[in-house]
Structure 1
């Protein structure tokens, strides 16, 4: 049986500063019998020379669409926007299973091209624990942005009694909004700062519907939210790719955390860790195409 090729695609900053396969884990994968192709990148924390030194094959950036069909395309986050069908097996965090904006277009590209999405965000071990939690290493940064962390899990009205809310919630099902424009009218509101790591502003399940666009750590770190006259101000810092502020820690955490799962990609059809996310994809496609058939 010929060796399986993993093709690490280059990504633009800020996501592209992180690397999901480090030279260390690439060396282990090569020892496991894989071919590892790495697209050249001038923003990735792990330098091209480091991958080349352990035996990876360097290829041009954005060459993955023309890679042989048996190559597995792997990356950190969603692919660049486009409309051409996706024909490979892809392993990355696509952010399209919680009805984020454009989720249906993303999945239909896989369906039309005969490809497959194996979403890294949802792979779990035998105990049901995620292999990796994106952003774990930046919790101190998120807390520093807000100065203080407050967790409220049941009675959301209590949030307004705190000065600061740090939001790190990742939902698998909808919940009532934590803060709304209506709740901002509450007399005596103390809440003046909201910070967090989130890319859910375009999701219908956004827990904080008072904002619809993420802030940016470089260009626009904070945004002032309109509040009723006579109430205290409210500032929000919701940076979706906060782990990119610590590219070394984020890269090493991702590479080491995901190695056990990535090492099984060569025979993913025989491993539950990947079969579970394949089923998620198949179920979502079935629901999507079924709805389209009904509409037609």
Structure 2
């Protein structure tokens, strides 16, 4: 008997065909308006991290929702992007934007090398990506001359055209601007014929093969997209935090990214970002209540999987439909 691990949620065809521009417009307006409104409040830091980590969650949600693949190694890819961007600036004296491009390139190379893992399914793929993540994070520790090892290394703030983006507001605008572009790109991709092929693979892989869809090639494409988005997230995180150590990119980081997809869902394209916002805000809530954050995270994940299998975004969508139906009647 083959063990399987179901993806967090499956996007509906209607969600895949929906125009991304209303959502992108709303996110863009929020990106512009939020710093003047919320920068003075403590939870603004949560919004900053939500934008940065939300990019990685979007990529993982795409991989899980449309290719049915669950990766537990995304934290390590996040670290690859972070360390590549840091080394590009501190060791090789490249401008920060080129460092981010280098981070994407490194992640894509690793994703191409490890693409054969996609021939595995469910539980076996999850374990294989977990092992991959452990290997990469161990390399961060062992390559101390480059990474700083367990002592970590400092990273300068992001700078574009000689202008230092070292404020909380600048980190917010940068992360959410990239997130907005990613949302627009993913939305348009899912409305294309490629998105239809991704949906066919998710619904029935054998049937998709019978229709002549090159399943492995399409899964590899999503694997590469997820790696690139996660690397960008890691690079921005490095410049925002201005310090890196291997323990930031272990299994906890991978679980947080996957948990964001499980909690937020992929039924709406903003679902993983919603899940990431809840996870970033949860430590402040649990600290005020005096309870354990891991315990609260576990309870939240179980509750969502039991009562809202499609994630909270899908639950909100259904609630909106119910409200509209009542108004019509």
Bin for the TM-score computed over the shorter chain: under 0.3
Normalized per residue, the structure richer in helix is 2
Normalized per residue, the structure richer in strand is 1
TM-score, normalisation: structure 1: 0.24
Structure 1 or 2, whichever has the larger Rg, is 1
- Structure with more contact order per residue of length (Cα contacts < 8 Å, sep ≥ 6): 2
